[in-house]
Amino acid sequence: MTAKRLSAISLAVFLFLLAGAAALRAGENFVFRGRIVDTANEPVSGAEVYVFDSANVKRPADFISNRTGNDGYYRVELPAGHYRTMAIKRISAAKFGPLGKDDKHSGDPFEIDSAGTKEVIKDFTVMDLREAARAAQKRSDSVVRISGRVVDDSGRPLGMAYGMADPLRKFSGMPHYFSIWTEEDGSYVLFLPKGKLFIGAARDFPPERAYIDLQEVEFTEDTEGVDLIVRGD
């Protein structure tokens, strides 16, 4: 057998193995898809699903879906694994970092694991801060209204800030409860369950610097005049 023929056979074997490896890798992928809607269950265009391979979701995403069209559908093909996902519609061009007041977000990350499946389907509902605050305003005997101002270290009211509360001082991602953005007078309103919570305020969203200022409080009735301080702003 000539050297030329051996070379051709070696090349054929290499290409066969390469194609087999590619097919194997493709077989390990799965599809993550669904629909992104707003609080009225209408499809949201221009939204994306961010996919992270770790618990740190405040950095650039590892994978990003297509940007939704008028039907609100998204799709992204992912390697097998465990991920945290969220849907976001940004008015700004930024791909990560704090959201703007008009940006929409699906809330706490949704975890997916591809083990034993080729497809995961998840629909997301996105809302801005104002809509999220309205959603929290379902009054009942177990809910109290807390109001006051967000101020700086000198007691001056802060606009474009918000009040927030969570059962944990070191919560993950976003707080369970937050107000809409304040106007120039700093006024906020929070609707909270009765009992002990950690409460504070921030100007970035999701909050980056708020943890050190969260104070444990207990509310059993509607309370006015609760000022929240954003330090070092």
One DSSP character per residue, 5-55 reads: HHHHHHHHHHHHHHHHHHHHHHHTEEEEEEEEE-TTS-B-TT-EEEEESSS
Name residue, tokens 């694991």: 113
**CA nearest neighbour of 213 among 197, 199, 195:** 199
Q: Identify the pLDDT of residue 23.
A: 44
180-203 tens-digit pLDDT: 888 899 999 998 888 899 999 988
The pLDDT score that the predictor gives to residue 89 is: 92
Q: How many CA atoms lie within 13 A of 17 on its CB side?
A: 6
Using a cut of 0.85, tell me whether the model's pTM lies above it: no
Q: Which CA distances in Å does 47 have to 76, 87, 106, 136, 188? A: 13, 7, 11, 23, 28
pLDDT of residue 72: 96
pLDDT at 84: 95
Per-residue confidence in pLDDT tens, the chain, 233 aa = 555 554 555 555 445 455 544 444 445 899 999 999 988 889 999 999 999 999 888 788 999 999 999 999 999 999 999 999 999 998 866 666 666 667 888 888 899 998 888 999 999 999 887 676 666 555 455 788 899 999 998 999 999 889 999 888 887 767 888 888 888 999 999 988 888 999 999 888 777 765 557 889 999 898 999 999 998 76
Q: Which two tokens stand for residue 217?
A: 């409080």
The three-class DSSP label of residue 176 is coil
At a CB cut-off of 8 Å and minimum separation 6, what does 123 contact?
Answer: 34, 35, 36, 37
What is the residue type of 183?
Answer: E
**pLDDT number for residue 77:** 96
Whole-Å CA distances, 107 to 78, 110, 128, 146, 192: 22, 9, 10, 22, 17
Evaluated on CA atoms 43, 69, 123, 126, the torsion sign reads negative
If you ran DSSP here, which 8-state letter would residue 228 be given? E
Write down the pLDDT at residue 212: 59
**Could you tell me the domains of the chain?**
27-125 (2.60.40.1120), 140-229 (2.60.40.1120)
The pair phi, psi for residue 168, each rounded to 5°, is -115, 140
* Closest C-alpha to 32, from 70, 82, 71: 82
Contacts of 93 (CB under 8 A, 6+ apart): none
Structure confidence at residue 44 (pLDDT)? 95
Alpha-carbon distance values, 57 to 60, 69, 183, 217 (Å): 8, 24, 29, 28
